[in-house]
Structure 1
Amino acid sequence: MMWALLSKRTQLILASSTVLVCAFGLEMLVQFFTGQSIHLIKLISAVATAVLLVLVPAAYFLFRQILKRWPILQKLTFPDLNGAWEGYLTTTWVDPETGNNPEPIPATVRINQTLFGIHVSLETDESVSDSAQEVLETDRKAGKYRVWYRYDNSPKAAVRHRSPNHGGLAFLEMHWEKDSNLLTGRYFTDRKTTGDITLRRVPDMVG
């Protein structure tokens, strides 16, 4: 997903440059130690295979550590949202029995973000929702970063008589310069209700 934020041209340049630099570096090492040269096409092919088998998995697993070590990369690409976030949902739904909006609903959001994807799950006392499709949006000049996602909501058994399964669309937004530990957003359900989302990052005790 983070990779998808780069233009196709930039992706091609980065991938090609990595392969070529590694290929020429390896050729120089071989010539230095053996005095022999390797056919360039075969060398590039071998390096491309090595990049796919080694560097791509390494980038996948080291992605978060890299962002933590150099926070500026988060601003240049997309913030690290991994972990738990706690807050509440404020719905616009009106209870027909009271004629009022319900009190804010406590919620916990867990985000799993990698170099190539992101998943958002939200849980309240009554239901659990999981993202089914996600899109990242950036406005670096304004310091704003947004995750749009389509979700499926599954209410717990005790409330299904009044709250059936449903789907919806939501977004979570961070204003990097103001508070990188705060997410705000909004949700829209296929039951024609909407609401606001306010979340604060739970400190990562592991570190």
Structure 2
Amino acid sequence: MINLLPITKLITWVAGLYAGMVVLISTLVGASGLASLETALKGVGILNLVLFALAIGGWRTVWQWIPKLNDLVFPDLNGKWTVEIQWNWDKKSGEKTATAFIKQSLLKVSIELSSDESESETLMVAPHKDALSARPGLYYIYRNVSVTGAAKKQDPHIGAAILKISQESNDVLRGNYFTDRSTNGQYTMRRAGKI
């Protein structure tokens, strides 16, 4: 998710605000020389703690306080999702239901999807926004393996999906998928609960 932010602008703004605050505080307390350096080092320590707190989970609190960030930056997708899979394979087609857990931090996203027959593990998930519409979505690459005791045991396979967040709600993801065993289909994911 952090790759969606204009990092160089963000760093410039944070550094500029910090420099301005150090100058202001030093001027107000009449500090000079060593006292100004001490103030600056304390400020750096506090700023690092704040940025660390945001990175490890504080960003979700900020998103709750300012819900518009779900539209401006990227939605908080953390939670349990019900998944409807429409599949096509070797002139056959059908439907399958599954459950997914999306775990999202400021630095990464993972999707763990499981059904009664298989489980998938995340190889890569990359959040993105459409260049023209700014509609958020996920590029998702996964490895799928059959679960022990599955009625139809299948060889592990690699798949990829391009999921887009619904224009009506951040609680629906839709998209097409394809795999290295020549299967394809569509995912429809609906949020079942937040974690």
Give the direction of change, closer, same or farther, for the CA distance of 1:200–1:44 in structure 2 (3 Å limit).
same
Report the equivalent of 1:144: 135
- 1:154–1:21 distance in 2 versus 1, CA, 3 Å: farther
Alignment of 1:28-39 (within 5 A): 28=27, 31=29, 35-39=30-34
Is 1:101 equivalent to 2:107 in the alignment? no
The reply to whether residue 201 of structure 1 matches residue 171 of structure 2 is no
Q: Decide whether aligned partners of structure 1 residues 18 and 36 sit closer, same or farther in structure 2, where only a CA change above 3 A counts.
A: closer
> What per-residue deviation string (whole Å, max 9, x for no partner) do you get for residues 88-120 of structure 1?
1111113xxxx6313x11011111111121111
Alpha-carbon distance, 1:46 to partner: 4.6
SS in 1 for 2:170: strand
**Structure 2 residue aligned with 1:58:** 53
Is the Cα–Cα contact under 8 Å of residues 76 and 140 in structure 1 kept in the other structure? no
Specify the alignment match of 1:154 in structure 2.
145
Q: Secondary structure at the match of 2:89?
A: coil
Give 2:178's match in structure 1, choosing from 161, 166, 188.
188
TM-score for the superposition, normalised by structure 1: 0.80
Q: 1:162 to 1:73 in 2, by over 3 A?
A: same
Q: Is 1:129 aligned to 2:120, yes or no?
A: yes
Question: Which residue number in structure 2 is paired with residue 68 of structure 1?
Answer: 64
Gaps of 5+ in 1: none
Q: Secondary structure at the match of 2:82?
A: strand
Q: Any unmatched runs of 5+ in structure 2?
A: none
How many residues are matched?
193
Question: Match of 2:3?
Answer: 4
* Residue aligned with 2:75, SS: coil
* Residue identity matched to 2:72: L
Q: Distance in 2 between matches of 1:16 and 1:141?
A: 30
Letter in 2 for 1:186: N
State how 1:37-48 maps to structure 2 within 5 Å: 37-39=32-34, 40=36, 43-48=39-44
1:11 is displaced (CA, Å) by 3.2
For 2:25 and 2:50, how far apart are their aligned partners in 1? Answer: 15
Does the aligned pair in 1 maintain the 2:117–2:153 contact within 8 Å?
A: no
Q: Distance in 2 between matches of 1:131 and 1:14?
A: 34
Give the AA of the match of 1:175.
S
CA contact (8 A) 1:75 1:143 kept: no
Q: Could you tell me which amino acid in structure 1 is paired with residue 70 of structure 2?
A: Q
Query: Percent of aligned pairs with the same residue?
Result: 25
TM-score, structure 2 normalization: 0.84
- Compared with structure 1, are the counterparts of its residues 56 and 160 closer, same or farther at alpha carbon in structure 2 (3 Å cutoff)? farther
Aligned AA for 2:104?
Q
Structure 1 residues 46, 201: closer, same or farther in 2, change over 3 A?
same
